[in-house]
Chains A and B, each alone.
Chain A
């Protein structure tokens, strides 16, 4: 029976520890430690950037110096020493790469180990059941490989590292970079603007439905480095793209900083589906090590009937601080946010979304599932704002929290601001624990307590898991089980 096979596999994978925690010995080009205007210039020079971009970075850096680190989130961590981080680390390359075959085999090995084959022939031959997905692989500070570029170019789709887009499509980058998340937005986005090193750039031209899923895989490898990537996706009129993002990092005792910025621009009748499976190293059971994941993600639905859908599965990171947002500017635009945040041991997550309704008949849906186990703290923080001109705007929010064990916490902090008479806002939230009856029922049927727990939690998350692209959904489902390991008994 297919179901039982799946259960067996799932149970097998539940007993795995964080399996992406290995370190690879790859020679790297690193900038001197610390942050200064010189480092910003160094990064810009490394990337061979035009003058306007360097100016922008410096403006951001100077602005950042004036800013204070935010403290409003319900997360607790020792002060970050921004001078004790390497802001640039790239695997050494000899010459310019002509094809994927020339990528350092060590790096290819890393991605293979992570289950992301970068060789197109492998992908095409269906080796290891690899999905039909174009991948941009970002390793520490730089993008090392992007697959399926020719195939995509035929359709007019641009999918490349952002550093390359700066060179090849400066008009697009100049027009849209920072137009959704300006450098003045917040502390970490300002820092990102100053020192971002790479990331993905996507442009879907008018009327094109992107023929395959696009994906970026982020890997932090080097010690003591911060990863600051920047993703920019532009969906022109009547286009569609589904974009996936995955991330992992080695197990280390130190905390590493990841401060990314993602900007989406969506024009008339276009749609972007953005899925994330975030599995940065969460630290050990005593809270030692782990990634600080401070991310700014925002989508601007500029056109009429535009649509954006954020789906996220957050299982990793010592601290997550992330609020993928939608600015619903175009009339009839739609914003969706589906989220699962799982925290175990000493992890802390403060995550949610912002739905800013400006246009008429805009609608948004928020479904957030938070699960806390061990001594973890999980917070949903969300904003729904109906502007005065958002006639007939709609929002529906459901946020449910599940508590496993009596040492963890689950918090809900919604902000609901309505200035539009004709807008309708509904918000509901519940907090509960797994009932004894449910556990007993599963155990009676021969599942162990831990397996039962994984099954019930998967059921709790189902609404969100269903929104993920298929390949990701299976992966995410397993992840739910692994993340909760050790949370019972």
Chain B
């Protein structure tokens, strides 16, 4: 048998002890589920470069470094300035009731922690065909998370914020299990803010279900510490006439990966996945998406833009899968990356897998440096080179940021990208 990575072995070794402290230990079905997750993970280990979906992202530094080390203390993190109407806060992977702001939730909106949800009999599962080892690992060790439910025809006005404050205390991993359910005709705007200090491993897994005619605007700021590993997986199901909009803004992490799987199960449904990533130093940022069109007549699109400086490495892997007979589907995909340094690199794999003929699908991918002519144009008008470069980068990011419908979020992300540019 092939030997497991040190980190994987570490997980397997401490599983029995962990079982006693992890939530749901009294429930047999949860313990069984955790065991099934561990078994699956033990076979697969952490993904390595031989796994096709991970050919561009190498986790060997994590699986070697992180294992068996105790983490440092609680973070001295300055909290994010973004104001939300309702807030659920996790500190080092655990729900913090004091810091959360959950009073006066409107009718039809319920927010609870994973632990509470378990006590109330919520059912969690692991698909027997699941091949992603990080989901198996998460299932074995899920420790906390959030459950959000929006009732039928309830449209929530404000923004729900989920804040994650991480530190070295979760060096060996924080495995959060989240669930968002929108009933028929419901609408919600949500922002996840991931921040941290020190070296740690964050592994959130979210399941989102969007009912008929429901709409979710899902934003995410990934501003983890530059020595952290952030490997997030989000699975979304969209029913008839449902709309899922996701925008991820990534600036943090040593190695980060945002994996989104959207399954469209009803006609006239839409999925829009967009994002921007700004990386420098030796940061590595991976965006992997899979959009599955199971039925006819719906649309999906994706636009991702990246700016890479120093030795940063960007990855975009997007796949549109159209099932047989899923006619009249429109799928578009665009990935653009800007390389600011001689040592930056980008890998891109925009993939189409199509089994129906009456479809319109396209994808585009470009990468390169700033346009010399545009730079010259600005300089000829008296704008210093450094300033001109900033203007061009802002313009490059501008159109994808414009796809953000929520004005407050759009401004916040624009400010963050301006802030990032100021540091260069």
Q: Which residues of A contact B (CB under 8 A)?
A: 72, 388, 401, 403-433
| A431 and B352 contacting across the interface, CB-CB below 8 Å | yes
Complex Cα distance, B56 from A413, in Å, reads 15
| B337 and A418 contacting across the interface, CB-CB below 8 Å | yes
| B353 and A411 contacting across the interface, CB-CB below 8 Å | yes
Complex Cα distance, B346 from A32, in Å, reads 51
Complex Cα distance, B334 from A247, in Å, reads 39
Interface pick from B204-212, B237-245, B361-369: B361-369
Chain B residue with the shortest CB-CB distance to A373: B357
Q: Which residues of B contact A (CB under 8 A)?
A: 52, 56, 324-325, 327, 337, 339-369
Point out the residue from B52, B340, B363 that lies within 8 Å of A429, measured CB to CB. B363
A-side contacts of B341, CB under 8 Å:
421
In angstroms, how far is the closest chain B Cβ from the Cβ of A212? 41
Complex Cα distance, B366 from A424, in Å, reads 7
| B354 and A417 contacting across the interface, CB-CB below 8 Å | no
Complex Cα distance, B57 from A69, in Å, reads 25
Known A-B contacts A406-B327, A429-B362, A430-B362; the reply to A418 vs B367 at CB < 8 A is yes
Point out the residue from B339, B340, B365 that lies within 8 Å of A416, measured CB to CB. B365
| B346 and A411 contacting across the interface, CB-CB below 8 Å | no
In angstroms, how far is the closest chain B Cβ from the Cβ of A204? 36
Chain A residue with the shortest CB-CB distance to B321: A411
Chain A residue with the shortest CB-CB distance to B359: A431
Chain A residue with the shortest CB-CB distance to B340: A421
| B346 and A418 contacting across the interface, CB-CB below 8 Å | yes
B-side contacts of A427, CB under 8 Å:
348, 350, 363-366
| A411 and B352 contacting across the interface, CB-CB below 8 Å | yes
Complex Cα distance, B339 from A422, in Å, reads 8
Complex Cα distance, B208 from A335, in Å, reads 46
A-side contacts of B362, CB under 8 Å:
428-431
Known A-B contacts A406-B325, A410-B354; the reply to A426 vs B366 at CB < 8 A is yes
Complex Cα distance, B333 from A413, in Å, reads 13
Complex Cα distance, B368 from A419, in Å, reads 9
Complex Cα distance, B238 from A404, in Å, reads 29
A-side contacts of B367, CB under 8 Å:
416, 418, 423-425
Known A-B contacts A406-B356, A406-B357, A429-B363; the reply to A413 vs B344 at CB < 8 A is no
The 4 A-B residue pairs with the shortest CB-CB distance in the complex, in nearest-first order: A403-B357, A416-B348, A424-B368, A412-B352
A-B contact pairs, 29 of them (CB 8 A): A401-B354, A403-B354, A406-B356, A406-B357, A408-B357, A410-B354, A411-B352, A412-B350, A412-B363, A414-B348, A414-B349, A414-B351, A414-B365, A416-B347, A416-B349, A419-B345, A420-B342, A421-B341, A421-B342, A424-B368, A425-B366, A427-B364, A427-B365, A427-B366, A430-B362, A431-B360, A431-B362, A432-B359, A433-B357
In angstroms, how far is the closest chain A Cβ from the Cβ of B327? 7
In angstroms, how far is the closest chain B Cβ from the Cβ of A89? 38
A-side contacts of B366, CB under 8 Å:
424-427
B-side contacts of A422, CB under 8 Å:
368-369
Known A-B contacts A409-B353, A412-B352, A431-B352; the reply to A417 vs B365 at CB < 8 A is no
B-side contacts of A418, CB under 8 Å:
337, 339, 345-348, 367-368
Complex Cα distance, B349 from A72, in Å, reads 15
Point out the residue from B342, B348, B354, B369 that lies within 8 Å of A411, measured CB to CB. B354
B-side contacts of A405, CB under 8 Å:
357
B56, B341, B367: most-surrounded residue (chain A CB, <10 A): B367
In angstroms, how far is the closest chain B Cβ from the Cβ of A271? 27
In angstroms, how far is the closest chain A Cβ from the Cβ of B300? 14
In angstroms, how far is the closest chain B Cβ from the Cβ of A194? 26
Complex Cα distance, B407 from A199, in Å, reads 66
| B352 and A388 contacting across the interface, CB-CB below 8 Å | no
Point out the residue from A407, A420, A423 that lies within 8 Å of B324, measured CB to CB. A407
| B324 and A406 contacting across the interface, CB-CB below 8 Å | yes
Complex Cα distance, B322 from A403, in Å, reads 13
Complex Cα distance, B52 from A388, in Å, reads 23
Complex Cα distance, B311 from A421, in Å, reads 11
A-side contacts of B344, CB under 8 Å:
421
B-side contacts of A409, CB under 8 Å:
353-355
| A431 and B351 contacting across the interface, CB-CB below 8 Å | no
Complex Cα distance, B330 from A430, in Å, reads 11
A-side contacts of B337, CB under 8 Å:
418
B-side contacts of A416, CB under 8 Å:
346-350, 365, 367
In angstroms, how far is the closest chain B Cβ from the Cβ of A209? 36
Complex Cα distance, B358 from A323, in Å, reads 28
Complex Cα distance, B357 from A427, in Å, reads 22
B-side contacts of A388, CB under 8 Å:
342-343
B-side contacts of A401, CB under 8 Å:
352, 354
B-side contacts of A410, CB under 8 Å:
352, 354
| A430 and B361 contacting across the interface, CB-CB below 8 Å | yes
In angstroms, how far is the closest chain B Cβ from the Cβ of A457? 14
Chain B residue with the shortest CB-CB distance to A423: B368
